[in-house]
């Protein structure tokens, strides 16, 4: 089969390598260069039941609980059962995971995991190690790599995806297209995602008519250094013993949740935001008890960056703030990455497999990319869903409005004649479709987003802007449709926004 993979993070590279190994003719298209993705920035690691005292069943339970019960049991089972095989494949690809003295995989602890089960490489440089190893493999394989190609549209003919059209108008035909472009962190004014993460795959799928779901569930990472360019301070640092303190030095998470700093990510992020708003200053992450040696050895990337910014974190606490980090929803797929559009697959953060529910468990994302990237490649010869897709009912009861652009404009839609500007969209999403949402704010956001016209997609930036607008409308509409809080989707009354 001729197969196009779009995107060069762990999910896309894994899918391309596996499809190549299965004898397919694979073309890998990336907007920038291979490895320019969220994967390369990932610090935590790859979750999995790799050691004694742990099991896939426990990992599945933690995944379901962190997702506020909204996850899909079948998909979660595929994820956790696939962990051992995925880590073996990564080791075979040349990723040197850190080992403990007994030679077993060193396993870190992160929030909402009942066991230490995060395999890491280079301390906190796991994503960079994976990205480099897989990129080397791909370049040594028969996969045709085309860098600097921005996919503008999917070619759909007789209800089936037949290839892609790039921004320069060139059409490339294929029997199957796998979308692996990551999420959409650039929807927000503050994000841990690199600048190229503009929701491209989700926008492509929406324009082609594939179903999307769970777009209201956006994860905000609680501990991001907000001073200058946002820089992630891994949850693994809290797993190793660092604590959060308010301006008075008080460890406030103890009152927020029995697991304190290791509560599910959405709980910690909201608590951090509330405390910062109440004291009009950022809260701090205090890692001083860990000592300079452990900090430098276990977290060399963070250590170097903090020093570069003049923060000596073995002696002083680090000011942190939440930032948009991960999209739990995306293009609806089955457990083999098949979307509702024959000939189209989606993997990694682009996909909504159902594994993350309403809030992703830490370090399940690299695992998802590895497991479902391979599964999608394995399923390429079966291009249609093996069952009829029934759209998920929306909380508002109208399946057609779920994440689609068909939703009617509400509020002052169309009247403010806004000229589209990316920074305005990012601010709007941050303020109204962010960590804490109100019905009024969501209505306003939906109206304003629909009042903006997408810029003519004549350049890379304009195409990215159009994609961001498409995805922003879908995220805001899905958020408005879900009137009750669940996981990362948190709706409060306006009066409570500072105190909720």
Give me the residues that bind ligand SIN (CB under 6 A), please: 43-44, 234-236, 362-363, 365
Q: Which is nearer to ligand SIN, 7 or 185 (CB)?
A: 185
In the annotation, is 99 catalytic? no
Q: Least Å distance between CB 53 and ligand SIN? A: 22
The C-alpha atoms of residue 45 and residue 37 are separated, in whole angstroms, by 15
Q: Which is nearer to ligand SIN, 253 or 480 (CB)?
A: 253
Total residues found in the chain within this entry: 500
The C-alpha atoms of residue 268 and residue 43 are separated, in whole angstroms, by 18
The C-alpha atoms of residue 496 and residue 500 are separated, in whole angstroms, by 5
Q: Which is nearer to ligand SIN, 156 or 273 (CB)?
A: 273
Q: Evaluate whether 186 touches 177 at the Cβ level (below 8 Å).
A: no
Q: Which residue is nearest to ligand SIN (CB)?
A: 44
Q: Least Å distance between CB 19 and ligand SIN? A: 26
Q: Which is nearer to ligand SIN, 43 or 63 (CB)?
A: 43
Dihedral, CA of residue 336, residue 337, residue 340 and residue 342, to nearest 10? -80
How far from the centroid of its chain's Cα atoms is residue 150's Cα? 20
- Please enumerate in sequence order all residues whose Cβ is within 8 A of that of 12, keeping only pairs 6 or more positions apart, or say none: 5, 6, 28, 30, 37, 178, 180, 181, 347, 348, 373
- Please enumerate in sequence order all residues whose Cβ is within 8 A of that of 61, keeping only pairs 6 or more positions apart, or say none: 114
Of 265, 352, 360, 437, the catalytic one is 265
Q: Which is nearer to ligand SIN, 44 or 455 (CB)?
A: 44
The C-alpha atoms of residue 458 and residue 466 are separated, in whole angstroms, by 10
- Please enumerate in sequence order all residues whose Cβ is within 8 A of that of 305, keeping only pairs 6 or more positions apart, or say none: 225, 231
Q: Least Å distance between CB 234 and ligand SIN? A: 3
Q: Least Å distance between CB 239 and ligand SIN? A: 9
Q: Least Å distance between CB 236 and ligand SIN? A: 5
| Catalytically annotated residues | 265
């Amino acid at each position: 089969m001729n197969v196009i993979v779009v995107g060069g993070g762990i999910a896309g590279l894994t899918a391309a390598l596996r499809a190549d190994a299965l004898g397919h003719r694979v073309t890998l298209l990336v907007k920038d260069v291979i490895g320019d993705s969220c994967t390369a920035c990932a610090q935590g690691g790859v979750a999995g039941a790799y050691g004694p005292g742990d099991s896939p069943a426990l990992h599945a339970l933690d995944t379901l609980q962190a997702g506020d019960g909204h996850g899909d049991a079948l998909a979660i089972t595929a994820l956790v059962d696939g962990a051992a095989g995925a880590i073996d494949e990564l080791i075979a690809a040349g990723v040197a995971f850190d080992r403990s003295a007994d030679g077993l995989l060193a396993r870190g602890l992160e929030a909402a995991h009942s066991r230490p089960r995060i395999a890491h490489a280079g301390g906190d440089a796991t994503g960079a190690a994976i990205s480099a190893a897989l990129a080397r493999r791909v370049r040594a394989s028969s996969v045709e790599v085309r860098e600097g190609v921005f996919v503008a549209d999917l070619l759909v003919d007789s209800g089936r995806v037949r290839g892609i059209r790039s921004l320069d108008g060139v059409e490339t035909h294929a029997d199957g297209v796998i979308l692996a472009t990551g999420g959409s962190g650039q929807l927000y004014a503050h994000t841990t995602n690199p600048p190229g993460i503009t929701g491209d795959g989700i926008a492509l799928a929406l324009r082609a008519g594939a179903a999307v779901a769970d777009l209201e569930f956006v994860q905000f990472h609680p501990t991001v250094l907000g001073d200058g360019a946002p820089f992630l301070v891994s949850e693994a640092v809290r797993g190793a013993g660092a604590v959060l303190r308010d301006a008075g030095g008080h460890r406030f998470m103890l009152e927020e949740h029995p697991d304190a700093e290791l509560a599910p990510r959405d709980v910690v992020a909201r608590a951090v935001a509330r405390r910062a708003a109440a004291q009009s200053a950022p809260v701090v992450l205090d890692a001083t008890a860990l000592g300079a040696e452990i900090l430098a050895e276990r977290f060399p990337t963070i250590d170097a960056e903090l020093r570069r910014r003049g923060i000596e974190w073995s002696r002083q606490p680090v000011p942190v703030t939440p930032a948009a980090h991960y999209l739990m929803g995306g293009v609806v797929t089955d457990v083999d990455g098949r979307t509702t559009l024959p000939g189209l697959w989606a993997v990694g953060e682009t996909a909504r497999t159902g594994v993350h529910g309403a809030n992703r468990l830490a370090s399940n994302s690299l695992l998802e990319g590895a497991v479902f990237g391979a599964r999608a490649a394995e399923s390429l010869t079966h291009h249609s869903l093996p069952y009829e897709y029934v759209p998920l009912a929306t909380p508002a009861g109208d399946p057609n409005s779920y994440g689609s652009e068909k939703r009617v404009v509400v509020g002052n839609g169309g009247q403010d004649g806004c000229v589209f500007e990316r920074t305005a969209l990012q601010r709007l999403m941050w303020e109204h479709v962010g960590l804490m949402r109100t019905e009024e704010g969501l209505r306003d956001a939906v109206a304003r987003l629909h009042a903006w016209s997408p810029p003519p997609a004549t350049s890379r930036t304009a195409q990215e802007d159009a994609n961001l607008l498409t995805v922003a409308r879908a995220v805001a509409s899905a958020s408005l449709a879900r009137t009750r809080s669940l996981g990362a989707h948190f709706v409060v009354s306006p009066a409570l926004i500072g105190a909720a």
